[in-house]
Amino acid sequence: MAKFSNKIIEILKETNKKSMLGEFSKKNPYYILISTILSQRNKDESTVQATKNLFKKYDNINQIANAPLGDIKRLIKKSGFYNVKAKRIKEVSRIILNRYNGKVPSDIDKLIELPGVGRKTANCVLVYAYKKPAIPCDTHVHKISNRLGWVKTKTPEQTEIELMKIVPKKYWIDINELFVLHGQNTCRHISPFCGKCKIIKYCKKIGVEKFR
């Protein structure tokens, strides 16, 4: 396997000086938590739209916790699996209100106790809401880490564990944002744009059969 290279982080930072996720990180912890729940098994653009729809009508945890379930379903319909997600959002909101006085926990063990909150969602809250070092491992991070040859894993959960072993902690907070943006713009799941990739000389292109 290839060794971790901080050059990749530096190049991607230079390439993505202005990022959508940078704006996302300015939102409050509750907004980030709900948006990340909505992102589960969903396309990025659909997540953005569903989150905007929900918070345009209900802009805080009290309103969402007490909103009619049917309203939440309608507002987040673009996110997919909206029936399940709507119930989770209400349940999570009530637990945070009752157990944590309305403040989203900043501890991973408390976060993953919440219904529907796994490690990726919890790590997103830590990174984007609380600026704590963590590696939220979604499909982009999993895919790119394997293509680079940094890891050889079958699931995002395994990828997170392996990345924590080889990536210096000072870079953890950057990995998700940079790899998500790189995955959206260049390193696509199907037929990635290897011809315009800024980090191509560091990439082993593992698993890439067709590229542009």
37 touches 89 (CB < 8 A): yes
The pLDDT of residue 115 is above 80: yes
Least trusted range by pLDDT, from 3-17, 125-139, 157-171: 3-17
CA angle 53, 109, 96 (to 5 degrees): 45
The pLDDT of residue 18 is above 70: no
Q: Render pLDDT for 140-178 as a digit per residue (tens, 0 to 9).
A: 999 999 999 999 999 999 999 999 999 999 999 999 999
Name the pTM for this structure: 0.89
Q: Taking the domain 26-129, which CATH number applies? A: 1.10.340.30
Helix axes 82-100, 29-39, angle to 10 degrees: 150
Of the candidate CATH numbers 3.40.50.11740, 1.10.132.20, 1.20.1070.10, 1.10.1670.10, the domain formed by 6-19+135-202 belongs to: 1.10.1670.10
